[in-house]
Amino acid sequence: MEQEQNKAKLSTYHQEHDESFLKSGFSTKCLHMGQEPEYIYGSMCPAIHLSSTYAQISPGVPFSNFDYTRCGNPTRSNLERLISGIESAKYSHVWSSGMAAINAMVNLLEIGDEIVCVDDVYGGTQRYLRNISSTKQGIKYTFIDFDDMELLKKSLHSGVKMVMCESETNPTLKVADIKTIIKIVKDYNPEIITVIDNTFISPYNCRPIELGVDIVMESVTKYINGHSDVLMGITATNCEKLHDKLFYINRCVGAVPSPFDCFMTIRGIKTLSIRIERQNSNALAIARFLESNKNIEKVCYPGLESSKYHKAAKEQFEGFGGIVSFYVKGEFDYTKKFLEKLGVITLAESLGSVETLINHPETMTHGSVPKEMKEKLGITPNFLRLSVGVEDIDDLVKDLEQALLV
């Protein structure tokens, strides 16, 4: 009896705390949601609850809301409350990686169902759809260009059960017209699940749930954690039915992150706003610098007035993000020398962290994409993707300038 009262008090304490921040600004939510002073000791930082199991008072009556960590953990639960806050969603789940989150969404489907997916989707998602979910789980897929709304309309038929897109695509930075896509899909069949992978632009710049999408997914590994030291994914939704299914998959499959990684991510999110603000402004300055440099053939950045995605980005994003892709003038030989000469900027996969990284998609992140597809998407040997960090802008520009002179 006393135990039941304690459980109820704890739930109310959490709920009231989160509700008091629902109308706050984004930065305030980052610092406070899921992060009330701890119930017993009042500690300001959420504790890391490492225990894999929990004592029970009587059979089937655990002390609190938890019995076994795969099925629920206090640190993970704090993080899920925080994620719901920053994604403007009622429910969220955290997964052991972004790919585990993609896998979970595909697990919402049945054998024979079809996914319509954006053609320059993240390389790992493409590989998963081509080589795992289609061959082993019987999930069909079509890749289409979401710039072409007529093609989207034509691709919808009774077998399509999910439409998956990225708010900003990788690596050519196309911006999806999210509201129009959702309208077309839902007009055709409201049962089709719409999914946006928001990893590239981050919840500070865009919250697809507010634009009406069913599920937003992110690789936390990138901007949300932002420090290149955690691998994690999230899904968030306002739909109770989808939440129940994802909750079940989360516990059944067990692709859950460790309590330590959840703690690290909560810590990372505290500075999400100021990191992204700096990354937005550094990236815009770099895009402008590159656009005016004679050794550059073309710059892709939705913040540039010259970008064909500028209008869509302005309508949906609060900032244009920290990724700048560009083509250098020259062959692979020049590109390679340029990359080797960079000093402040590191050649590495991944993105979204505080330090600036550069990637050569053709040989690195998109190495496994078929050759014809690479050509169609514009992933050529002189194409590069820069993930701009929070360093001083002058140091970044100087580094690019000296390396371009090779």
Ligand X SMILES: *Cc1c(COP(=O)(O)O)cnc(C)c1O
Out of 197, 261, 362, 399, the residue judged to bind ligand X by CB under 6 A: 197
- Told to check if 221 binds ligand X by CB under 6 A, we report yes
Residue 147 annotated among the catalytic residues of the structure = no
Backbone phi, psi, residue 392, to 5°: -65, 135
Q: And the tokens for 53?
A: 């199991």
Backbone phi, psi, residue 273, to 5°: -60, -50
Q: And the tokens for 246?
A: 């994802």
The nearer residue to ligand X, 49 or 366, going by C-beta atoms, is 366
Say which amino acid occupies 43.
S
Residue 314 annotated among the catalytic residues of the structure = no
Residue 317: CB atoms within 10 A of its CB come to 22
C-alpha to C-alpha distances, 143 to 140, 171, 242, 309, nearest whole angstrom? 10, 16, 24, 20
Q: Which range, of 117-125, 130-138, 240-248, 257-265, touches ligand X by CB under 6 A?
A: 117-125
Q: And the tokens for 15?
A: 């709920």
Residue 70 annotated among the catalytic residues of the structure = yes
CA–CA dist 149, 153 (Å, integer):
6
Least distance CB 99 / ligand X (angstroms): 4
Annotated catalytic residue within 122, 128, 141, 327: 122
Which residue has its beta carbon closest to ligand X? 98
Out of 99, 164, 323, 324, the residue judged to bind ligand X by CB under 6 A: 99
- Told to check if 200 binds ligand X by CB under 6 A, we report yes
Q: Confirm if 31 and 21 have CB atoms less than 8 A apart.
A: no
Residues 6+ apart with CB under 8 A from 396: 282, 286, 344, 345, 356, 388, 389
Q: And the tokens for 132?
A: 């795992």
Q: Which range, of 19-27, 183-191, 214-222, 241-249, touches ligand X by CB under 6 A?
A: 214-222
Annotated catalytic residue within 18, 120, 197, 399: 197
Residue 336 annotated among the catalytic residues of the structure = no
Out of 75, 97, 107, 307, the residue judged to bind ligand X by CB under 6 A: 97
The nearer residue to ligand X, 386 or 403, going by C-beta atoms, is 386
Between vectors from CA 302 to CA 296 and to CA 308, what angle results, nearest 5°?
Answer: 90
The nearer residue to ligand X, 38 or 355, going by C-beta atoms, is 355
The nearer residue to ligand X, 282 or 359, going by C-beta atoms, is 359
Instruction: Please give the residue ranges that form the binding site for ligand X (CB under 6 A).
Output: 97-99, 122, 124-125, 166, 170, 197, 199-200, 219, 221-222, 231, 233
